[in-house]
């Protein structure tokens, strides 16, 4: 019953210490990276949202025919009822901060200079919240429940960056 994996290294009652036989060997480290180019198909639902955002500076959500929830960012399907959403609804551009954080250490995924404030923003007329930046306010003054509005980007950009950020409603 006590035989170990097929090399037959005996464990007995002491722990295996591989280092014993590798004393004095300097561990080598190989550096590399996985760099695979990606192109994500946004699909028809997100495409319509981004194109409308870019061309008309309007924020659209989709409505679930069953529970009536309006989603922004829009979804093709309602995760709660598991049916196709049906109607497009214009939402925002005002909304409120559901929660937020201010990032002070520039971590590797972040391309902006810190501090960067993120918020989950529930847009007026929407039942869920959208992740985005909060700017135009000192970070310490951001609070949950605060009213904000979308600031559209000047760049012609059919992506989430067609909204530059959210700022406090004056």
| Residue 133: φ, ψ to 5° | -85, 150
Rounded to the nearest 10°, the torsion over CA 103, 105, 108, 110 is: 30
* Residue 164 interacts with another protein (CB under 8 A): yes or no: no
Q: What tokens does 121 get? A: 């923003």
Confirm if 79 and 51 have CB atoms less than 8 A apart. no
Number of residues lying near another protein (CB under 8 A) = 70
The closest alpha carbon to 66, from 52, 56, 77, belongs to 77
Distance in Å, CB of 147 to another protein, minimum? 16
Instruction: Return the residues of window 43-62 that contact another protein according to CB under 8 A.
Output: 43-46
- Determine contact, residues 43/50, Cβ cutoff 8 Å: no
Among 53, 60, 129, 146, binds another protein (CB under 8 A): 129
Q: In angstroms, what is the minimal distance from the CB of 143 to another protein?
A: 9
Order of all β-strands in the sheet with 59-63:
70-71, 59-63, 87-91
Which residue in the set 20, 21, 24, 109 belongs to the binding site for another protein (CB under 8 A)? 109
User: Judged by CB under 8 A, which stretch of 51-59, 60-68, 101-109, 147-155 contacts another protein?
Assistant: 101-109
| Nearer CB in complex with another protein: 126/170 | 126
Round to whole Å and give the CA distance between 35 and 140: 38
Least Å distance between CB 40 and another protein?
5
Query: Footprint of another protein on this chain (CB under 8 A)?
Result: 1-6, 9, 11, 15-16, 18-19, 22, 25, 27, 29-30, 32-46, 71, 73, 75-77, 79-80, 82, 98-105, 107-112, 116, 118-120, 122, 128-133, 139, 144, 159-161
């Amino acid at each position: 019953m006590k035989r170990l994996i097929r090399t037959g290294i005996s464990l007995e009652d002491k722990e295996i210490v591989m280092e014993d036989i590798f004393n004095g060997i300097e561990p080598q480290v190989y550096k590399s990276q996985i760099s695979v180019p990606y192109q994500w198909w946004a699909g028809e639902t997100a495409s319509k949202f981004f194109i409308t955002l870019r061309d008309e500076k309007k924020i659209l959500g989709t409505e679930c025919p069953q529970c009536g929830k309006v989603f922004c960012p829009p979804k093709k399907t309602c995760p709660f009822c598991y049916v196709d959403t049906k109607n497009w609804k214009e939402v925002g551009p005002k909304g409120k901060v559901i929660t937020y954080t201010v990032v002070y250490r520039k971590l590797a995924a972040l391309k902006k200079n810190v501090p960067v404030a993120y918020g989950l923003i529930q847009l007026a007329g929407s039942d869920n919240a959208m992740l985005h930046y909060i700017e135009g306010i000192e970070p310490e003054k951001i609070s949950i429940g605060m009213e904000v509005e979308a600031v559209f980007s000047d760049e012609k950009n059919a992506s989430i960056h067609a909204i530059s950020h959210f700022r406090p409603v004056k």
